[in-house]
């Protein structure tokens, strides 16, 4: 949700800001804007509806000079996407400009108070309320900007990452965070600000992740001071980030999503590095080993997540219950956080999040922590808020995921959950050595099998053309394949805007089968496992209603392949690892259908990669 970039140093700020916005465009892309202070101390704000490229067109012929600036790409919360609601927002006197990610929950009360003092608002955003409030506090009390920001933020309820600059003080940017991410980059005579490290890494690897209610004062490109809302100084914890710039580019692929689908064999390899031995005979997840007392003592695991990460959680439940014989509950983080759940210090809560910033998942973590549970994070973005809020955890190490539709993060999450279940099961003695060796050995061979699946890309691209007519899709699976069906349906709907639902295959006859007719494509995950015969019956029920069955089967299948309309043949693996193989063709199917329909695959409408508002 909303991307923030800031720069102060000796270079022209605009090119750095715009490049940074492009790196952050995955966070939101309905409008964009920039504020710059030029050498004559003019504070220029340019903003427009649409993507960053539209901002670039908009500023042609405009004064974009200045060595200090802030910029923003927006995902609308308050007010429709339009240039008035785009950030930065000016204060009334136009001496302050502010950008914001998050939601000011009490904005209506604050706005009324300011309106009563004569303040007039040009936009319908909560952000404009904040900049006016800062200005009001500053002018009425004759304060400097930092103090005014501190006092204003004490009045605010909600989430924010903000950056503010002042016309008469081109030597400083003031930035603050609460429940929305913000990173400061420390370069050589220049300082950067961003929602995550991706816009910063090409200039410096030294970063400071701000914590909640911390305010950073970036002065002259050289001095970084961090204080809290009450002005107590905090020593910044400077970290080194390692990120390969190539990971942030499309690298010859037409979309990030396709690139990320194709990266999966390498990603799974990276995810297992140092955890599964090269011989494929042992697996050890250090976070489990290091905290084995609490993990072994746990009476119950609760997994909290949203979206695709929630689908990975459903697979994790089956893995942990199967191998470790511990009950596992899977919860939507957004529901869990508001329903007064029963949690205690014998629970282990696993939070799964690619971005590590999802507001609901973070809130679920905080709630579970406050009730004494031990919190284990499974995240991708290094240094993000969830890993910092947990007791321990394991990164999935799949590299930055830029496409809004999650692909490699899902398979990375399932891989970590598999390693977690195996490590714990071995510690508990709930898995015998033969089964352990079989699963680890198979896990080790998944990257090679994924490469085989990727060879089907052209075939899937071809068959996708058949289905662009469809307004609905059904996805079916059982056991480990049921969450894969949910994930396949989510992928299709979010990027192609075709309505799609996933069901456990046997649930069809309890209602959804009424939808099946000759127009209805039904994707069935029908690999050879314990429920194969049952899935076969489910397929027959669909064929009897003339549904179009696209079956995902194993190579050499001779039964389902005869009755399905289309078969996608995959290499075999063991049942519990099937999701790592069967998810990949469903990602490709969704991708190609969306491409055939001319959709904006990497930045689908209404979505954002990192959901930092609830
Ligand atoms: O960053 P997270 O894993 O916490 O994100 C959770 C969901 O917002 C995310 O998986 C979303 O559903 C994706 N767009 C799915 O492709």
Among 1, 303, 358, name the best residue to mutate to test ligand 1's pocket (greatest count of ligand atoms within 8 A of Cβ).
358
Summarised one tens digit per residue, pLDDT across range 35-60 is: 999 999 999 999 999 989 999 999 99
- What pLDDT is attached to residue 275? 95
> Closest ligand 1 atom to the C-alpha of 386?
4
Taking the centre of ligand 1 as the mean of its atom positions, its distance from the CA of residue 607, in whole angstroms, is 10
- Which strands sit side by side in the sheet containing 328-332, from one edge to the other? 328-332, 300-305, 347-353, 374-379, 392-395
- What pLDDT is attached to residue 154? 97
- What pLDDT is attached to residue 300? 96
Question: Could you tell me how far CA 507 lies from the centroid of its own chain?
Answer: 30
Report yes or no: 30 and 608 within 8 Å, Cβ to Cβ.
no
Report yes or no: 356 and 384 within 8 Å, Cβ to Cβ.
yes
Cα separation, 240 vs 226, in Å, equals 18
Summarised one tens digit per residue, pLDDT across range 507-517 is: 988 988 889 89
| Residues with catalytic roles | 2, 609
**Using N-to-C axis directions, what is the helix angle for 408-428 and 433-454, rounded to 10°?**
170
pLDDT at 385 over 80: yes
pLDDT at 79 over 90: no
For the entire predicted model, the pTM comes to 0.84
59 Cβ contact partners less than 8 Å away, ≥ 6 residues apart: 14, 34, 46
Cα separation, 596 vs 301, in Å, equals 42
> Closest ligand 1 atom to the C-alpha of 379?
3
- What DSSP character marks residue 510? G
- What pLDDT is attached to residue 318? 98
Summarised one tens digit per residue, pLDDT across range 279-321 is: 889 999 999 999 999 999 999 999 999 999 999 999 999 999 9
β pairing state of 158-166 and 206-209 = unpaired
Query: Nearest 10 degrees: CA dihedral of 504, 459, 574, 427?
Result: -90
Q: What residue owns the CA closest to ligand 1's atom 12?
A: 307
Percent of the chain with pLDDT over 70: 100
Mean pLDDT of 1-13: 94
> Closest ligand 1 atom to the C-alpha of 305?
4
- What pLDDT is attached to residue 259? 96
Give backbone dihedrals phi and psi of 394, rounded to 5 degrees, phi first.
Answer: -135, 125
Report yes or no: 32 and 73 within 8 Å, Cβ to Cβ.
yes
Residues in the ligand 1 pocket, defined by CB under 6 Å: 306-309, 353-355, 358, 361, 404-406, 490, 494, 607, 611
Summarised one tens digit per residue, pLDDT across range 526-570 is: 999 888 888 999 999 999 889 999 999 999 999 998 999 999 999
Report yes or no: 415 and 395 within 8 Å, Cβ to Cβ.
no
Among 28, 256, 308, 405, name the best residue to mutate to test ligand 1's pocket (greatest count of ligand atoms within 8 A of Cβ).
308
Distances 480 to 181, 389, 444, 575, 587 between C-alpha atoms, Å: 34, 30, 19, 7, 17
Cα separation, 3 vs 555, in Å, equals 45
Among 382, 413, 611, 613, name the best residue to mutate to test ligand 1's pocket (greatest count of ligand atoms within 8 A of Cβ).
611
Taking the centre of ligand 1 as the mean of its atom positions, its distance from the CA of residue 354, in whole angstroms, is 7
Instruction: Give which of 247, 417, 401 is closest to 323, Cα–Cα.
Output: 417
Taking the centre of ligand 1 as the mean of its atom positions, its distance from the CA of residue 404, in whole angstroms, is 8
Give me the domains of the chain, ranges plus CATH numbers.
Answer: 3-243 (3.60.20.10), 256-453 (3.40.50.10490), 457-596 (3.40.50.10490)
Cα separation, 362 vs 373, in Å, equals 14
């Amino acid at each position: 949700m909303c991307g923030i970039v800031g720069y102060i140093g000796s270079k022209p700020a605009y090119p750095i800001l715009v490049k940074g916005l492009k790196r952050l465009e995955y966070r939101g892309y309905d409008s964009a804007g920039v504020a710059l202070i030029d050498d004559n101390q003019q504070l220029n704000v340019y903003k427009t509806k649409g993507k960053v490229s539209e901002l670039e067109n908009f500023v042609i012929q405009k004064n974009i000079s200045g060595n200090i600036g802030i910029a923003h790409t927006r995902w609308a919360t308050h007010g429709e996407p339009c240039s008035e609601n785009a950030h930065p927002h000016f204060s009334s006197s136009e001496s302050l400009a502010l950008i914001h990610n998050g939601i000011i929950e009490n904005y209506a009360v604050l706005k009324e108070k300011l309106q009563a003092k004569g303040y007039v608002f040009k936009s319908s955003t909560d952000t404009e309320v904040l900049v006016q409030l800062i200005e009001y506090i500053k002018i009425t009390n004759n304060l400097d900007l930092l103090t005014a920001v501190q006092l204003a933020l004490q009045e605010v309820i909600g989430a924010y990452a903000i950056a503010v600059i002042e016309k008469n003080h081109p030597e400083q940017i003031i930035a603050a965070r609460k429940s929305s991410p913000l990173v400061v980059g420390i370069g050589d005579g220049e300082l950067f600000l961003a929602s995550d490290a991706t816009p910063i890494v090409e200039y410096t690897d030294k970063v400071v992740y701000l914590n909640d209610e911390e305010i950073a004062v970036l002065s002259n490109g050289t001095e970084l001071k961090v204080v809290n809302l009450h002005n107590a100084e905090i020593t910044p914890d400077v970290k080194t980030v390692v990120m390969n710039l190539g990971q942030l580019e499309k690298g010859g692929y037409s979309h990030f999503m396709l690139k990320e689908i194709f990266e999966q064999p390498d990603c799974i390899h990276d995810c297992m590095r140092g955890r599964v031995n090269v011989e494929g005979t042992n697996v050890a997840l250090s976070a489990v080993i290091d905290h084995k007392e609490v993990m072994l003592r746990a009476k119950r695991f609760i997994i909290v997540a949203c979206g695709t990460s929630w689908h990975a959680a459903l697979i994790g439940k089956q893995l942990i219950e199967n191998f470790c014989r511990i009950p596992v509950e899977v919860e939507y983080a957004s529901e869990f956080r508001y329903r007064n759940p029963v949690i205690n210090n014998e629970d282990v809560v696993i939070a799964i999040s690619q971005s590590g910033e999802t507001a609901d998942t973070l809130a679920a973590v905080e709630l579970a922590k406050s009730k004494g549970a031990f919190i284990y994070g499974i995240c991708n973005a290094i240094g993000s808020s969830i890993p910092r809020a947990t007791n321990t955890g394991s990164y999935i190490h799949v590299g930055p995921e830029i496409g809004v539709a999650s692909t490699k993060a899902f398979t990375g999450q399932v891989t970590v959950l598999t390693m977690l279940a195996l490590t714990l099961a071995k510690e508990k003695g709930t898995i015998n050595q033969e089964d352990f060796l079989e699963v680890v050995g198979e896990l080790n061979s998944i990257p090679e099998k994924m490469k085989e699946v990727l060879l089907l890309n052209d075939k899937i691209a071809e068959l996708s053309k058949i289905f662009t007519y469809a307004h609905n899709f059904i996805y079916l699976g059982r056991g480990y394949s049921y969450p894969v069906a949910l994930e396949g349906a989510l992928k299709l709907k979010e990027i192609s805007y075709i309505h799609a639902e996933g069901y456990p295959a046997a649930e069809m006859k309890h209602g959804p089968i009424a939808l099946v007719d000759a127009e209805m494509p039904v994707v069935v995950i029908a690999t050879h496992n314990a429920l194969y015969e049952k899935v076969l019956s489910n397929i027959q029920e669909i064929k009897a209603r003339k549904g179009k069955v696209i079956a995902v089967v194993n190579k050499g299948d001779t039964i389902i392949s005869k009755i399905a309309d289309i078969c996608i043949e995959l290499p075999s693996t063991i049942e519990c690892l099937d999701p790592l193989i069967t998810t990949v063709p469903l990602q490709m199917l969704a991708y190609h259908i969306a491409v055939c329909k001319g959709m904006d695959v990497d930045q689908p409408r209404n979505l954002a990669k990192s959901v930092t508002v609830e």
